[in-house]
A and B are shown apart, each in its own frame.
Chain A
Amino acid sequence: MEIVLVGLNHRTAPLEVRERVSFSIEQARRASEQLRARGILEETLVLSTCNRSEVYGVPPEASHESAPGLSTFLSEFHSVQPDVLGISLYHHYDREAVRHLFRVAAGLDSMMLGEAEILGQVREAYRSAHEQGATGPVLNRLFQGALEVGKRVRAETDLGTRPVSVASAGVKLAERIFGKLHDRSALVLGAGAISEQVVSQLRDRGIAHLHVMNRSRERADALAKLYGGEVLMWGEWEKALLMPDVVVSSVAAEEPILIRKTVEQAMERRANRALFLMDLGMPRNIESAVAKLYNVYVYNIDDLSEIVEQNRHARENEIPKAESIVGEHVGKFLSWQVSVELVGLVNELRAKLRDERKQFIRDRVESIRHLPEADRARVEQWMDEMLEILLLEPAQRLRGERDLRRKIQNVEALRDLFLSNREKS
């Protein structure tokens, strides 16, 4: 019962290669079918995200030789030259494959340490493969373990709690003031890439109302259309600042576009409701004196970057805790794997010993002509009972003692030792 993993990620492959080897949902299903139809794998699961493409599987034979076949398959499936792919692919077997998946689910292998999305992507990949019938007992257990690791790491460590991008840090800060943002309103000044990142985050948090204001009406329309917002005319400050709880500004302007007087007047009209201003412009879009106004919170790009840096350090400090959870679950999984394999081994051993017993009876007992049939049956029964007694204790200990299973490192060696006549000769 071998587990094999072949894949590439942001560390081993440039974007161009990752793009060519990524799988759509349909492609992942097709690849799984083909891998099983060709007999390369018995169980398969394809995990494909923007930063990684990985194939997990259980080959028919435990030989640690299935990775080259999988690499060739990937090369053919995506029509990529084997030499291009070869330098980007990594492959792992058994313990290392399990550890790799658990680290992926924990967010330890992500480009952004501790990112939350990967756990959902692992869950979705597993759901899809399971529905397709591509997984079996081994991958089911493996991926259920991975999901548990992901959940535990998120619940028990701070690996994913603090924001590590300027956009998410800004949105999290807004939540420190207002709580949940689902009944809140936001105004976005400027329609560039960074504004879009923040808008995307705000929409993910369920912000109720979104207004976009930009010098170029076209770009404002495009952003508003993409995220379901409403466009306001540039310069309509009285109207624009009346509603929003959060203002995000990233306008290319030499002078501040929001000055103290404008915001002060707006605060009077809005009955001093708290206002969170995110200034992502360079040079700054919001006059520094605005920060002194009552119930106004201003964070510029430097403030947010500093928070991001602090949070990144805080996340890195959580790595040992997360690795320890991963290690614990790798141990659990391997113990389960060994127990399944050993139970199979004991069953095979039982079958082999029964065959030997039959042979023994044929050779030794049948020569005794005067032995009645009833006595012969009794001898057979006693021998069977003795076999069961001999196998019972080891079988029970293998089921009950996790430490014992952990000590048995190589089930294949035991198989060779006890079943070599039948299996290997």
Chain B
Amino acid sequence: MNYALFISTIVAYALSLALYLFFLNTGKALTGRLATLLLAAGLVTHYFALLERSRGLHTVPYHDLYGSMSLFGWLLALTYLGLELYHRQRSVGVVVLPFILVFFAAAHLAPADKLSPPAAHGPTFAFHVTLSILAYSAFALSFVLSLIFLIEERLLRRHKLGDVVWRLPPLELLEQMSRSSVLVGLVSITIGTALGFLWVDRLSGTYSFYDPKYAITLLVLLLYVIYFRLARSTTWRGARASKLCIFNFAIVFLSFTVVNLYLSHSHRYF
């Protein structure tokens, strides 16, 4: 492992987190911009760290838990940066950065890999995995945003504003950001799943529907389509939609843990 890349990435993410925290506390625009710049710098060094791993494997690093965790962290950072720039809202950075930092650090502090090439590879497969992990990171982001929405909504309804509420994004913006994030996730998971089926088709010409991962992925897709449809509807807009989003992510988490580790034959780490 290239320690210079590891240290640079950790430092960039950690400083970015500190600046996001300072930004939340003081509201200084310059601090916010610096936090974003450091996040972008961390993304670049993180990318090179992933690239180094990929060179050893000759494919996207998803063959082990650590590789897929690092990729997940990178895509989470990328999705968040995209959302931040699109919605011009930096207050959420302080909640997202710890996750990015933890995923990166956990992936790279783990015992060194043997870097053996995975059994399944090729561009179609690589895109299938990358887009699936991008979808999961986008869903994770929507989960965080929905959680912040529910907390802020509760504080506003109970008139307990304290120091927190004045710093958080407005409720309607949180809803919009969550919907944007889910949209990224939906597009990614749809294309990623289609590519997965294409790859299986090319490989064997038959689909094995006995893998529970297929069923749960389709369920996740369906649940997020429902969320996306309901989030602006009369009955569901607001807190209910946010609760649904949190429920949906619980299913994603189930898919990542129980299904991957104990039920699926071919999806171990993504």
Known contacts A177-B171, A177-B172; A273/B28 CB under 8 A: no
Q: Are B159 and A299 in contact (CB under 8 A)?
A: yes
Known contacts A175-B170, A177-B171; A294/B234 CB under 8 A: no
The residues of B that contact A72 with a CB separation of less than 8 Å are none
Q: How far is the CA of A303 from the CA of B160 in the complex (A)?
A: 10
Q: Return B175 CB to nearest CB of chain A, in Å.
A: 9
Residues of A in contact with B, size category: 20 to 34
Q: How far is the CA of A272 from the CA of B171 in the complex (A)?
A: 14
Q: Are A177 and B156 in contact (CB under 8 A)?
A: yes
Q: Are A295 and B237 in contact (CB under 8 A)?
A: yes
**Contact string against B for A residues 176-203, beta-carbon threshold 8 Å, 1 for contact and 0 otherwise:** 1111000000000000000000000000
**B161's contact among A156, A175, A307, by CB below 8 Å, is which?**
A307
The residues of B that contact A295 with a CB separation of less than 8 Å are 237-239
Known contacts A156-B28, A294-B238, A307-B161; A173/B171 CB under 8 A: no
The answer to the question of B26 belonging to the interface, with a C-beta cut-off of 8 Å to chain A, is yes
Q: Which residues in window 163-221 of B have CB below 8 A to A?
A: 163, 165-166, 168-173
The answer to the question of B27 belonging to the interface, with a C-beta cut-off of 8 Å to chain A, is yes
**A176's contact among B28, B163, B165, B233, by CB below 8 Å, is which?**
B165
Q: How far is the CA of A177 from the CA of B153 in the complex (A)?
A: 8
Q: Return B180 CB to nearest CB of chain A, in Å.
A: 14
B159, B173, B233, B235: residue with the most chain A Cβ atoms closer than 10 Å: B159
The answer to the question of B114 belonging to the interface, with a C-beta cut-off of 8 Å to chain A, is no
The residues of A that contact B161 with a CB separation of less than 8 Å are 307, 310
Q: Are B170 and A177 in contact (CB under 8 A)?
A: yes
Q: Return B148 CB to nearest CB of chain A, in Å.
A: 13
Q: Are B27 and A161 in contact (CB under 8 A)?
A: yes
Question: Chain A: which residue is nearest B175 at the CB level?
Answer: A274
Known contacts A271-B234, A272-B234; A178/B170 CB under 8 A: yes
Q: Are A303 and B159 in contact (CB under 8 A)?
A: yes
A172, A294, A310: residue with the most chain B Cβ atoms closer than 10 Å: A294
Question: Chain B: which residue is nearest A162 at the CB level?
Answer: B166
The residues of B that contact A176 with a CB separation of less than 8 Å are 152, 156, 165-166, 168, 170-171
The answer to the question of A297 belonging to the interface, with a C-beta cut-off of 8 Å to chain B, is yes
**A297's contact among B29, B156, B166, B173, by CB below 8 Å, is which?**
B156
The answer to the question of A26 belonging to the interface, with a C-beta cut-off of 8 Å to chain B, is no
The residues of B that contact A155 with a CB separation of less than 8 Å are 26-29
Q: How far is the CA of A257 from the CA of B166 in the complex (A)?
A: 30
Q: What are 9 A-B residue pairs whose CB atoms fall within 8 Å in the complex? A: A155-B29, A172-B166, A178-B171, A268-B234, A271-B237, A272-B234, A274-B172, A274-B238, A310-B161
A residues contacting B by CB (< 8 A) are 155-156, 158, 161-162, 172-173, 175-179, 268, 271-274, 291, 294-295, 297, 299, 303, 306-307, 310, 314
- What are the 6 A-B residue pairs with the smallest beta carbon separation, nearest first? A179-B170, A271-B234, A295-B238, A177-B171, A272-B234, A179-B173
